[in-house]
């Protein structure tokens, strides 16, 4: 059994590394996906791997003084946007129609809590709508959802913790083999005093931490896509 499993795993890994398909990756969220430098760090880290051909997609091309002329700037980060409004206005449907994706990361909810004062239950309901949009656009969408980074405002941060606690069970309930949802924890280990530049957005140290949390999940989601749906990528 053990030998068989090892052989099977080796074969799977060989298959995965043999593919050089162009995978479309959409970084989706608010300003913590738009006016940051973790996208630059993530793209650069991927350049040294088998996944260097990944194509970042989205309608935005924001540069945030990352001093990086090379990276693929395409993204779907919208500063100031609330998850609840994106869901109610069906905006993700249009964004994915213009820029279809195979893999998507979502870091959302900060504006809902800080400026919108929305209840956690409303944000989770919006997340469900957003996942439905992703799967309508691509039934095999690989989805990575973040437990979001902390904010310095104490009251809002209590709500950030409540949202993050709800994300795990919510994602489990919507998980499918064709379109898995992986939850990554951007909260734990992120320091409000050392990793934020303005109480909400990561500074260089925070960008590095966020990149290091996205990176293994993004690799896993891309491998999963190649393994289960070789024709889809």
Whole-angstrom CA distances from 197 to 48, 84, 98, 169, 209 are 29, 26, 33, 31, 14
Residue with tokens 């919006």: 126
Distance CA 141, CA 1 (A): 32
Q: What is the DSSP string of 82-106?
A: -HHHHHHTTHHHHHHHHS--SEEEE
Residue 123 interacts with ligand NAG (CB under 6 A): yes or no: no
Q: Which of 180, 200, 222, 225 binds ligand NAG (CB under 6 A)?
A: 180
Q: Smallest distance, Å, CB 206 to ligand NAG?
A: 7
Q: Which of 175, 212, 229, 232 binds ligand NAG (CB under 6 A)?
A: 175
Residue with tokens 């925070």: 206
Residue 125 interacts with ligand NAG (CB under 6 A): yes or no: no
- Kindly indicate which of the ranges 23-31, 134-142, 147-155, 175-183 contains the residues binding ligand NAG, using the contact rule CB under 6 A: 175-183
Residue 194 interacts with ligand NAG (CB under 6 A): yes or no: yes
Q: Which is nearer to ligand NAG, 85 or 233 (CB)?
A: 233
Q: Smallest distance, Å, CB 200 to ligand NAG?
A: 12
Q: Which of 117, 204, 216, 230 binds ligand NAG (CB under 6 A)?
A: 204
Residue 203 interacts with ligand NAG (CB under 6 A): yes or no: yes
User: Residue 173: exposed, middle, or buried by beta-carbon count in 10 A (0-12, 13-18, 19+)?
Assistant: exposed
3-state secondary structure of 222: helix
Number of residues that bind ligand NAG (CB under 6 A): 15
Residue 29 interacts with ligand NAG (CB under 6 A): yes or no: no
Q: CA-based angle 31:32:34, to the nearest 5?
A: 50
Q: Which of 205, 212, 229, 232 binds ligand NAG (CB under 6 A)?
A: 205
Q: Smallest distance, Å, CB 225 to ligand NAG?
A: 12
Distance CA 226, CA 162 (A): 34
Q: Which is nearer to ligand NAG, 104 or 171 (CB)?
A: 171
User: Residue 29: exposed, middle, or buried by beta-carbon count in 10 A (0-12, 13-18, 19+)?
Assistant: buried
Cα–Cα nearest to 177, from 124, 130, 131, 228: 228
Q: Which residue is nearest to ligand NAG (CB)?
A: 203
Residues of this chain that interact with ligand NAG (CB under 6 A) are 18, 20, 50, 171-172, 175, 180-183, 194, 197, 203-205
């Amino acid at each position: 059994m053990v030998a068989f499993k090892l052989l099977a795993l080796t074969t799977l890994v060989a298959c995965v590394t043999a593919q050089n398909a162009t995978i479309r990756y959409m970084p989706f969220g608010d300003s913590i996906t738009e006016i940051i430098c973790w996208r630059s760090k993530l793209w650069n880290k991927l350049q040294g791997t088998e996944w260097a051909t990944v194509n970042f997609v989205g309608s935005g091309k924001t540069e945030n003084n990352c001093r990086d002329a090379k990276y693929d700037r395409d993204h779907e980060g919208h500063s100031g946007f609330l998850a609840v409004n994106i869901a109610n206005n069906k905006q993700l449907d249009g964004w994915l129609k213009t820029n279809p994706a195979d893999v998507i990361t979502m870091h959302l909810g900060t504006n809902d809590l800080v400026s919108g004062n929305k209840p956690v239950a409303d944000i989770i309901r919006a997340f469900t709508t957003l996942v439905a949009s992703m799967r309508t656009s691509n039934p095999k969408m690989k989805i990575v959802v973040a437990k979001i980074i902390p904010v310095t405002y104490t009251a809002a941060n209590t709500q950030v913790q409540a949202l993050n606690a709800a994300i795990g069970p919510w994602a489990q309930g919507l998980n499918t083999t064709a379109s898995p949802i992986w939850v990554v924890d951007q909260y734990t280990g992120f320091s409000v005093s050392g990793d934020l530049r303005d109480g909400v957005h990561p500074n260089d140290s925070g960008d590095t931490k966020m990149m290091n949390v996205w990176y293994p999940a993004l690799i896993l989601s891309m491998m999963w896509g190649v393994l289960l749906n070789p024709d889809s990528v």
